[in-house]
């Protein structure tokens, strides 16, 4: 470990982070959770800095969350919506990167439909780049906010919350197309949890064990004794062809109903990154289950976690002592 607690210029993938770096970002986020719970939620930490949110794919929570995070830290935040853009990897994407770079942003937050596109743009610009989701590759801030929400819930229950060792987390849904699943497997296993993934065979990526997750196709078996159940949406926009027989059949086998949740560990925690398809992968009475569902807490934690990421990644630009020099990885 170098002098800095977080040795990266960019935040592209959980896979690039060390366990202590994940924990550092979670620890840093806690001050912003506290600030966000106050009536006056503004500091001038990033005053004078410009943050560009460049979203080439639809988003509700993530875009709003990054925008609020930047504004609460006092930065000038500009949103570029390109949801209908036909930009794909290649020249046009590089041109976009060069354009963003020329505007002298101090941080760029990017969502793109192609896996690897955010990393490519990062290699062409001079400022920190934050990945807000690239295709089915990674969604690092989602995994970090999920870990933060879990930490708060475990602490509320009087449990050890800084190390997830012994915790069994079942992630169920369209694992094949999910960047959330990928980032969460990497982050939760780094924090010590045992991760099970469950999907119909057609939606289970080959070789998922290599990431450290245990694959299941039988949801009931995957739920047995689970402490946390994280449900994922069918990523229809990334499917080229028929992957499931019908939404009705899918719900029957892989939907989280109240009866099914009873198969998991006592008081198992329910999570979902949103957007939810109620009545498909999750029933409303489970999604809204008081004391068990932390879905709205995930959204709350998202703002604080993104404030922490924007703060940490702009420390070099701001000349914060100890962060201004040396090599970055």
Give the binding site for ligand ASP (CB under 6 A): 133, 139, 179-180, 233, 235, 273-274
Phi, psi values for residue 111, rounded to 5°:
-120, 135
What angle do the packed helices 19-36 and 61-72 form, to 10 degrees?
Answer: 70
Instruction: Work out how close the CB of 233 gets to ligand ASP at its nearest, in angstroms, rounded to a whole number.
Output: 4
Q: How far is the CB of 164 from ligand ASP (least distance, A)?
A: 21
Closer to ligand ASP at the Cβ: 180 or 310?
180
Distance of CA 37 to the CA centre of its chain: 21
Q: Give the residue with the Cβ less far from ligand ASP, 293 or 314.
A: 293
23 vs 169, beta carbon nearer ligand ASP: 169
Token readout for 183 is: 């980032």
Measured from the CB atom, the residue of 32 and 55 that comes closer to ligand ASP is 55
Cα separation of the two ends of the chain: 12
CB of 273 to ligand ASP, least distance (A): 4
Shortest distance, CB of residue 277 to ligand ASP, whole angstroms? 9
User: What CA–CA distance (Å, rounded) separates 185 from 231?
Assistant: 13
Decide whether 70 or 133 has the Cβ nearer to ligand ASP: 133
Work out how close the CB of 3 gets to ligand ASP at its nearest, in angstroms, rounded to a whole number: 34
Residue 222 CA, chain-centre distance (Å), reads 22
Q: Which residue is nearest to ligand ASP (CB)?
A: 233
If the CB atoms of residues 143 and 313 are measured against ligand ASP, the closer one turns out to be: 143
Edge-to-edge order in the sheet of strand 168-172:
213-216, 194-198, 168-172, 228-231, 269-271
Q: What tokens were used for 195?
A: 């991760």
Angle at 152 between CA 272 and CA 11, to 5 degrees: 65
CB of 2 to ligand ASP, least distance (A): 31
DSSP 9: S
């Amino acid at each position: 470990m170098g002098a800095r607690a977080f040795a990266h210029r960019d935040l592209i993938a959980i896979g690039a982070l060390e366990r202590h770096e994940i924990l550092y970002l979670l620890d840093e986020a806690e001050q912003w959770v506290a600030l966000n719970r106050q009536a006056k939620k503004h500091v001038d930490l990033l005053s004078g800095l410009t943050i560009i949110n460049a979203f080439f794919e639809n988003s509700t929570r993530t875009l709003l969350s990054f925008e609020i995070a930047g504004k609460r830290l006092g930065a000038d935040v500009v949103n570029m919506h390109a949801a209908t853009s036909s930009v794909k990897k290649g020249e046009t994407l590089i041109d976009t990167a060069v354009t963003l770079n020329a505007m002298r942003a101090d941080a760029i937050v990017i969502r793109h439909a192609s896996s690897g596109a955010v990393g490519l743009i990062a290699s062409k610009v001079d400022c920190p780049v934050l990945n807000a989701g690239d295709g089915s590759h990674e969604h690092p801030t989602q995994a970090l906010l999920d870990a933060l929400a879990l930490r708060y819930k475990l602490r509320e229950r009087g449990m050890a919350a800084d190390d997830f060792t012994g915790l069994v987390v079942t992630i169920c849904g369209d694992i094949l197309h999910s960047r959330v699943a990928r980032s969460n497997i990497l982050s939760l296993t780094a924090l010590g949890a045992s991760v099970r993934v469950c999907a119909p065979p057609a939606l289970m990526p080959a070789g998922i064990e290599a990431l450290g997750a245990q694959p299941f196709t039988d949801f009931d078996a995957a739920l047995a004794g689970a402490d946390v159940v994280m449900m994922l949406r069918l990523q229809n926009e990334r499917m080229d062809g028929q992957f499931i027989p019908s939404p009705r059949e899918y719900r029957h086998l892989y939907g989280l109903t109240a009866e099914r949740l009873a198969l998991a560990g006592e008081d198992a925690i329910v999570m979902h990154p949103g957007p939810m398809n109620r009545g498909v992968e999750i029933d409303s009475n489970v999604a809204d289950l008081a004391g068990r569902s932390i879905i709205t807490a995930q959204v709350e934690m998202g703002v604080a976690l993104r404030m922490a990421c924007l703060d940490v990644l702009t420390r070099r630009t701001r000349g914060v002592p100890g962060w201004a020099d040396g090599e970055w990885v």
